[in-house]
Structure formats: structure tokens, C-alpha cells
Amino acid sequence: MSAPTPTEDRPTEPTATTSTPPATSSKPPKLSKPSRSSAVGRPHAAWALPGVLFFAFFAVVPMLLAFYLSFTSWDGLGDPQPVGLDNWRKLIDDDRMVQSLWLTVLLTAASWVFQTVIALLLGVWAAGRQRNRAVLSAIFFVPFLLSSTAIALLFYALLDPNFGIIQENILGSSSGAFLAIVFVGGWQFIPFHTLIYQGGARQIPEVLYQAAAIDGAGRYRQFFSITLPQLRHTVTTSTVLLVVGSLTYFETVLILTKGGPGTDTAILPYLMYEAGFKSYDFGYASAIASFLVVTATGLSLILVRLTGFGSMRSTREGM
């Protein structure tokens, strides 16, 4: 190999990068040697192809198929029959849909408040390096080690009035069942969000607190003027994960309440499951699923846009 002219020996990526000559000219200020070498050793974009195809096949194509199926009538056997807008009309007229949508929004909001407030406080608290905080944090994390199925079963058993911890039939009343779902979701996921906040809080530069202390800011003032603003990107990340997660609560509802009492906790994913795999109305189930995709995508786009999550800007900007 021609060692002194290393840039010559890369014939492997003809179309990979922005093709070699323009790449050189696009960075005029640099010396020619480094800029030329920065054009070599770059992987061909085709490296991404297997992963993209795999994901497209199992996630993107099915999503598009769901849209297609939402315009058909299909019971799982035979071929789907096109029925135009029937399923969507049914969806708009379905009282359970309105209730379910409202319920999903309410559940997401309640979960967000419950989990964010507690996880933020616990996370900032756990960011301290004291021994007792480390020990307690280790215990606080334990619920997250159980699967959501296991946790749903655990509370299914503990909330059983025959079992004796709670005499009342909480899951029998609609507000009780709703609160139980919010609580169980929080019990499982607060450890995870606490962890995210703990990581975020540990990255806040010490100097900010020192400066605030010199200015005479007390503990609470420091929390609201430094910790919270510095954690805003952490809040975003946690919120995106939480919102998308709440939209898709499923096993908790299936195991704890089966959507009941009545249909009072039948959130969108549960309604979709019932329509598809209980009533074998796959067309209608697909309409609900499509609606769910639109909602989830719209929500996360808004969140990403509002907060600049995609650009991954640093909180440390301008410091």
C-alpha cells in the first residue's frame, strides 16, 4: 500500500459519501490533506439497508397495511373486502370511541402528572451521593425489574377484596379502576423515570449552585431557578417516553380490569384488541389502530418540535 498517500487507496466507496470531489470542495477552509482524508473511511450508506428493510418490513409496512385494512371488511379468513369509509364512519359514530379517546387522554394526563412529579423529585433527591440515598434508590428500582404482566398480576391479587388487604372492591368502581391503572403504571415506571432524572440532575454543573449559594439563594429557590430549568430536556425525553407509553398501556388494563367495569377503562389499544381478536372485525380494529398511529405520531411530532429533541441541542448552550 502506498503509505505516504493514504487517500488514494479507497476505491470501495464510489457513491457512498457526497462523492469524493465535491466533498473536498465543500470544506475549503481546511488544509487539503485533512479534508481529503475525512472523505475516506466512511461507510457506504448501504450499510444501513438491512436494518432499514427489516424495520420497514415489520413496522412500517404493517402500519401502511393497517391503513389499507381500515377501508376493508375482514374477519381474518378469506380476503379483505373493500368497504370504503364504513369503518371510519362507524368509528366516528361509536360512543365507546369517544369515551375511550377521552379516557386515553385522561389516563395519559394523570400518568404524566403522577409519574413526572414523583420521578422528578425522587430523581433529583437520588442524584445526591449520600449513602442512604444510594441504598434507598437501589430499593426504589426493584418494581421496574418485574414485567408489566407480573406487576398487573401482583396488583390483581392484592386488590382482590377476598384477599384481604383492601376490603373494598376498588376495581368494581369506574373511578377506582381508573386510579388503580394510573397507580400501577406509576408503580412500575416511576423507577425508570427517576433514573432518567437522576442522570440529568447529576449533569447539572456544580458551579451554578455555588453561584446561587453566593447570591444567597436557598434550597427551594435553587431547585426552581437552577434544577428545573436545567432539567428541561430531561423532562422532554421522559415526557415523550411516558406519553407514547401511556397511549399503549395494554396488559395492565387487560389483566386488571378487562376494560371494565362496563367499558369504563377500555382505552384505545384495548378497544382495538377487542374489536380485532375478540370480535374478529379486523377492518374496524385497523381503523382504531390507524387512529392510534396518527394520534401517537402527531403527539410525538408536536413534542419533538416544541422541544428540539430531534436536534439534540445541549442544555449547556450559551454557558
Partner 1 sequence: MSHDTLPRPRPAKTEERPTPPPPQRRRKHWTKRGNPVSGLGSVVWLAIVVVPIYAMLSASLTSQDKALTGNPLNPPTSPTLDNYNTVLNSGFGHLLSNTAIVAVAVVAIVLGLSVPIAYVAVRTRNRWSGLAFRLFLLGVAIPAQAVVVPLYLLIAKLNLYDSLLAVILPTAAFAMPVSVLVLVGTLRDVSEDLYEAMALDGASPQRMLFQLAIPLAKGGISTVVIFAALQAWNGFLFPLIFTQSDGPRVLTLGLFNYVSQFGVNIPALLASVVLSGIPIFAVYLVARRALVGGLMGVGGK
Q: Under rule CB under 8 A, which residues in 136-195 are in contact with partner 1?
A: 136, 138-143, 145-150, 153-158, 160, 162-165, 187, 192-193, 195
Cβ contacts of 66 within 8 Å, gap of 6 or more? 286, 289, 290, 293
DSSP H or E run through 137: helix 131-140
Three cell numbers written together for 176: 377506582
**Residues near partner 1 (CB under 8 A), total:** 131
Residue type (1 letter), 242: L
Binding residues among 10-29 for partner 1 as defined by CB under 8 A: 10, 12-13, 16-18
Asked whether the bond before 43 is cis by omega within 30 degrees of 0, the reply is no
User: Could you say which of 25, 29, 93, 206 contacts partner 1 (CB under 8 A)?
Assistant: 206
Return phi, psi of residue 301, to 5°. Answer: -60, -45
Closest CA to 199 of 160, 233, 229: 233
Binding mask 57-96 for partner 1 (x = CB under 8 A): xxxxxxx-xx--x------x--------------------
Return phi, psi of residue 207, to 5°. Answer: -55, -30
Least spacing, CB of residue 96 vs partner 1, in Å = 16
Asked if 224 is part of the footprint of partner 1 (rule: CB under 8 A), the reply reads no
Cα angle, residue 311 at apex, residues 307 and 315 outer, rounded to 5°: 65
Complex with partner 1: residue 178 or 239, whichever CB lies closer: 239
On whether the CB atoms of residues 135 and 167 are closer than 8 A, the answer is: no
Residue type (1 letter), 2: S
Q: What gap in Å lies between CA 58 and CA 62, rounded to an integer?
A: 6
Complex with partner 1: residue 215 or 262, whichever CB lies closer: 215
Least spacing, CB of residue 183 vs partner 1, in Å = 9
Asked if 9 is part of the footprint of partner 1 (rule: CB under 8 A), the reply reads yes
CB atoms within 10 A of CB 165: 9
User: Could you say which of 91, 103, 122, 253 contacts partner 1 (CB under 8 A)?
Assistant: 122
User: Could you say which of 88, 101, 199, 260 contacts partner 1 (CB under 8 A)?
Assistant: 199
Span interacting with partner 1, options 51-59, 81-89, 90-98, 104-112, rule CB under 8 A = 51-59
Complex with partner 1: residue 53 or 106, whichever CB lies closer: 53
Q: What gap in Å lies between CA 230 and CA 121, rounded to an integer?
A: 14
Cβ contacts of 222 within 8 Å, gap of 6 or more? 209, 212, 213
Asked if 297 is part of the footprint of partner 1 (rule: CB under 8 A), the reply reads yes
Complex with partner 1: residue 28 or 310, whichever CB lies closer: 310
Binding residues among 260-289 for partner 1 as defined by CB under 8 A: 268-269, 272-273, 276-277, 282, 285-286, 289
Least spacing, CB of residue 70 vs partner 1, in Å = 9
Cell 466533498 sits at which residue? Answer: 23
Least spacing, CB of residue 88 vs partner 1, in Å = 15
Least spacing, CB of residue 76 vs partner 1, in Å = 8
Complex with partner 1: residue 179 or 240, whichever CB lies closer: 240
Q: What gap in Å lies between CA 288 and CA 285, rounded to an integer?
A: 5
